[in-house]
Amino acid sequence: MRQWRLTAGLCLAVATHVQAADFPQPGQAVRIVHGYAAGGNADIISRVVGQEMSKSMGVPFVVEPKTGAGGNIASQVVAKSAADGQTLVMLMGGHSVSGALSDKLGFDPVNDFSMISTVMNFPFFIMVKRDSPLKSVADLAGAMKQRSGGVTYGSAGIGTTQHLTGELLSAQAGVPLLHVPYRGGAAALTGMLGGEVDFVIDTATVAVPQLKAGSIRVLAVTSRQRWSGLPDVPTLDESGFPGFDVSSWAGLAAPAKTPPAIVDRLNAELRKALAAPEVQEKLGQIGGEVATGSPADMRLRISREIDRYLAVARDKNIPRL
């Protein structure tokens, strides 16, 4: 019996080694699928990363947008693909939100994927009109208490990470905020500039151009650390909301049951690509910061975010999607 177990174990190890040794298939492109529009952040990240990984791995990387359902169509496609490392998905922070709020994904947001590594973090910014009476987070917190339920904020839509960030802010302050959903971050910003809401929560790609134009002020960043692109902007953690830490992210994943040796190879190649100065420069232009980790790190992050968002959604009666 012991000999049989040893033989079976050896066969499994050899099979896994052969699978890893055959990856990537010579001349066969590795696909990076994502669920967002061409030219958006997910598309840019996928193309920059794929181009660099192609150099060292010796095979082409092809980016395939499969838009719809907030990225979930792309995730479903990859979750059902062969677990051979040839088809990957560029997940975004909305993946955790979908895992918390949706009953109709058609896949498990954690267990149907072999996580490879996060790629970038994207902090959110609390922004107000240039002439707003809210000059600081202290002013905002004071207004929230004085006008309980009367302070309004705009987001890119119901169930977005921006929306839930506002609800987490409200929960920590112990004071309700009135959420006003828009069709995207640009529309929310336009609404704020027109006086429809008191503040907006969104990423640097929305905030920085308007900040340079002088039409807004940024009160705080939602990540635990200050963002290098706006080093003078304090964090919420520094501004009376201790421990507050919310960021969106991008991360690469493969279908579940992808051999560990292939996952490890992809993790190493991704880290190598993201260490290239030109890659960091290109990715920095879209308002985030490179952030790599282990497959276990990425899996744990998604699991914890799903639990966190599910709790705030239940507390704030946010409808299921």
Phi, psi values for residue 239, rounded to 5°: -115, 30
Q: Which of 33-37, 175-179, 265-269, 316-320 has the lowest mean pLDDT?
A: 316-320
Give the per-residue pLDDT at 20. 66
Percentage of residues of the chain with pLDDT beyond 90? 85
Q: How far apart are CA 167 and CA 187, in angstroms?
A: 20
233-265 b/e with 16+ CB inside 10 Å = b? bbbbbbbbbeebebbbbbbbbbbbebbebbbeb
CATH architecture observed for domain 28-122+248-316: 3-Layer(aba) Sandwich (3.40)
Tens of pLDDT, residue by residue over 278-289, are: 999 999 999 999
69: left (phi over 0), alpha (psi -120 to 50) or beta: left
pLDDT of 307 over the 60 cut: yes
Question: For the segment 91-105, what is each residue's pLDDT rounded down to a tens digit?
Answer: 999 999 999 999 889
Q: Find the distance separating the first CA and the last CA of the chain, reported in whole Å.
A: 52
Using left for φ > 0, alpha for ψ between -120 and 50, and beta otherwise, residue 178 falls in beta
What pLDDT shows up at residue 13?
43
pLDDT of residue 318 exceeding 80, the answer is yes
CA 189/CA 206 separation, integer angstroms: 8
Sorted by where each begins, the domain ranges of the chain are 28-122+248-316, 123-221
Q: Is the pLDDT of residue 150 over 70?
A: yes
Length of the chain: 321
- For residue 3, the model assigns a pLDDT of 52
| 83/254 Cα distance (integer angstroms) | 7
Return the CATH class of domain 123-221: alpha beta
pLDDT of 166 over the 60 cut: yes
Q: What is the pLDDT, as a whole number, of residue 70?
A: 86
In DSSP terms, 62 is beta-bridged to: 31
**Which pLDDT tens digit goes with each residue over 52-69?**
999 999 999 999 999 988
How far apart are the C-alpha atoms of 53 and 113, rounded to whole Å?
20
Predicted confidence band of residue 18 (pLDDT cuts 50, 70, 90):
very low
Question: What would the pLDDT profile of 116-138 be if each residue is shown by its tens digit?
Answer: 999 999 999 999 999 999 999 99
* pLDDT, averaged across the chain: 92
Of 60-64, 239-243, 314-318, least confident by mean pLDDT is 314-318
Task: State the pLDDT at residue 19.
Answer: 58
Confidence of residue 1 (pLDDT cuts 50, 70, 90): low
Residue 147 above 80 pLDDT? yes
Q: Could you give the C-alpha distances from 59 to 46, 194, 259, 264, in angstroms and in order?
A: 15, 50, 19, 17
Q: What is the mean pLDDT of residues 71-78?
A: 96
Decide: 119 and 91 in contact? Cβ < 8 Å.
no
Predicted confidence at residue 242, as pLDDT, reads 97
**pLDDT at residue 239 above 70?**
yes
In the predicted model, is pLDDT for residue 14 greater than 80? no
Instruction: Please check the confidence at residue 16 and state whether its pLDDT lies above 70.
Output: no
Query: What's the token pair of residue 253?
Result: 């994943």
Rounded to whole angstroms, how far apart are CA atoms 184 and 182?
A: 6
Please check whether the two domains, 28-122+248-316 and 123-221, share a CATH topology. Answer: yes
Tokens 């946010």 correspond to what residue? 318
